[in-house]
Amino acid sequence: MAIVNMAIGGSPTIFASGAEAMITLDGNTIIKTRVQKRYRLKEIDETLRISRTKAEARLISEARRCGVPTPIIKDVTEFEIKMEYINGTSLKNVINPSLAGQTGELIGRLHTCGIVHGDLTTSNILFKDGKLYLIDFGLAYLDKTVEARGVDIHVLFQTFESTHENHDELIEAFKDGYSRMFGNACEILERVKEIESRGRYA
Amino acid sequence: MKISILGLEGTAWNLSAAIVDENDVIAETTATYIPASGGIHPREAAQHHANHIADIVRQTLKKGGRNISAVAFSIGPGLGPCLRTVATAARALALSLEVPLIGVNHCIAHIEVGRWKTPAKDPVTLYVSGANSQVLAYRKGRYRVFGETLDIGIGNALDKFARSVGLSHPGGPKVEELARQAKQYVPLPYTVKGMDFSFSGLTTAAQEALKRAALPDVCHSFQETAFAMLTEVTERAVAHTGKNEVLLAGGVGANLRLREMLAIMCEDRGIKFYVPEKRFMGDNGAMIAYLGLLMYKSGYSTPVPDSRVNPGFRPDDAVVTWQ
């Protein structure tokens, strides 16, 4: 999700705007609103926005219970999630092999919990006070298959490769961390290689 | 000398030959296989192509009458028997004319003809046909697949549903027609998984829904659900890639409701939406000839021993040599 910091007077700040939601910041609360899509029928549009908002809030809390730091949910209404604002820096700006290892542990815990994030990038992981937080569960879902977990990791590796020079080192450190937290890590990491060779999800 | 390429297309039910140069289509001849009943039978379609290809090529060469620089053909993806029939003709032609043979990826030909015949330069493409449903965009030497169907193509889904209620092939246009008479929406499963989508569950559910709803209402609900899924994934790809154009390609692109949804999405995002003329949307020889022309100019050719067809040829397996 592209960050477009647009401060408007004293009103909430539009923080980011992606394909389906708008993020605003009000004090120390982040508000994620799923916006209406004019192209689809009202019945379909509302059903989707309500069910996805509910599912996202549930997965954010579920991940937290499994030991993955995520924002605390403050309130959920039909189209809106209000959650804790984590005033950290994006992992993209600070990544090093040690943090890549921590990221591996984080994702290992998430996958052990049965959750696939669906949009893992170094922008969706925040670093604050020595700790990593996972954010934006908009594409997350419950899935325990090797394929889903493999794609999840492959997508993250691609952001390592496209934005960081020492990516091989980062990938190795991630694998170590992931293997520490996830039982059958070998099988998943083998699949990541295979997915890469298919040349998809670029 | 001016480059002109002869292109042969016959991946499914449409057999078409065309000659293009850099500016335009010089000649095009088409023969379409219409099944007597049911859907496309691969062997019958291939037989149809075998019966007509010589005549189609003869007519095209007669109309286009000029020196051919190379012969291009769809090497995949498509129905095996159809691909093999047309590939055999292409090899024979290239050898007898003593010009290079060029095997082109059928999906990419749909995109390139759109970039040729509309102002689109670097679009996110929604390619929707009988067998294929993909969202593609160019990045680092390849057309990447950002989202695609996990089971059947949208055209097949529409055709299957149409056949089950007794509408003849192709069913898509008939479903579109009936949908206009709908009075209400019937809830149907909406399946988007990350960037991918699925249509087989929707097709089954639509057939089930007929037990409690009228046919026009189900047609309308089928279209609304399926096209919203396609539009959503296209929008995600646009947001992800940061591109500011959307191109619609493939035979299902003729559907006016699908066009309308994409147009609204693009308008709301402030980006451009392009739809080529209808003759360039369904399978056509001109698009094969045109991609052949781009590849020819880049110095690419397919030696006859390497010209075996590939029914599962993915667009992201093709190296783009011409951009």
Q: Do A44 and B261 touch (CB under 8 A)?
A: no
Q: Tell me the chain A residues in contact with residue B144 when contact means C-beta distances shorter than 8 Å.
A: 199-200, 202
In a domain, B129, yes or no: yes
Domain at B84, CATH number: 3.30.420.40
In a domain, B253, yes or no: yes
B183 shares contact with chain A (CB less than 8 Å): no
Residues B227 and B186 both lie in one domain: yes
Q: Is the pTM of this model over 0.95?
A: no
Residues B289 and B218 both lie in one domain: no
Q: How many CB pairs under 8 A join A and B?
A: 68
d(CA B72, CA B8): 6
In a domain, B115, yes or no: no
What's the whole-number average pLDDT of chain B?
A: 95
Token pair, residue B52, equals: 């007509």
B12-49 pLDDT, tens digit each: 999 999 999 999 999 999 999 998 888 889 999 999 99
Are the beta carbons of B48 and B40 closer than 8 angstroms? no
A197 shares contact with chain B (CB less than 8 Å): no
Residues B186 and B65 both lie in one domain: no
Residues B267 and B149 both lie in one domain: yes
In a domain, B290, yes or no: yes
In a domain, B65, yes or no: yes
Residues B131 and B211 both lie in one domain: yes
> What residues are paired with B28 via a beta bridge?
B18
Domain with CATH 3.30.200.20 in chain A: 13-84
Burial of A13 (0-12, 13-18, 19+ CB in 10 A): middle
Q: Do B261 and A47 touch (CB under 8 A)?
A: no
Domain count, chain B: 2
Are the beta carbons of A79 and A32 closer than 8 angstroms? no
Q: List the one residue out of B134, B118, B117, B116 whose CA is nearest residue B126.
A: B134
Which of B190, B240, B264 lies nearest to residue A48, judging by beta carbons? B190
Domain with CATH 1.10.510.10 in chain A: 89-198
ipTM of this predicted structure: 0.90
Which of A40, A119, A202 lies nearest to residue B261, judging by beta carbons? A40
Residues B136 and B234 both lie in one domain: yes
CATH topology of domain A89-198: Transferase(Phosphotransferase); domain 1 (1.10.510)
Provide the 8-state DSSP code for B89: H
Residues B256 and B134 both lie in one domain: yes
Q: Angle of helix A167-181 relative to helix A146-163, nearest 10 degrees? A: 150
Class of domain A13-84: alpha beta
d(CA A179, CA B154): 40
Per-residue confidence in pLDDT tens, chain B, 323 aa: 789 999 999 999 999 999 999 999 999 999 999 988 888 899 999 999 999 999 999 999 999 877 899 999 999 999 999 999 999 999 999 999 999 999 999 999 999 999 999 999 999 999 999 999 999 999 889 999 888 998 999 999 999 999 999 998 889 999 999 999 999 999 999 998 777 889 999 999 999 999 999 999 999 999 999 999 999 999 999 988 899 999 999 999 999 999 999 999 999 999 999 999 999 999 999 999 999 999 999 999 999 999 999 999 999 889 999 98
**Closest residue in A to B227 (Cα–Cα):** A40
Transcribe A113-132 into DSSP letters: TTEE-S---TTSEEEETTEE
Residues B58 and B100 both lie in one domain: yes
**Closest residue in B to A51 (Cα–Cα):** B190
Q: Which residue range forms the structural domain that includes residue B81?
A: 5-110+280-317
Q: Alpha-carbon torsion A154, A96, A30, A70, what sign?
A: positive
Q: Tell me the chain B residues in contact with residue A2 when contact means C-beta distances shorter than 8 Å.
A: 239, 242
Provide the 8-state DSSP code for B238: H
Residues B241 and B295 both lie in one domain: no
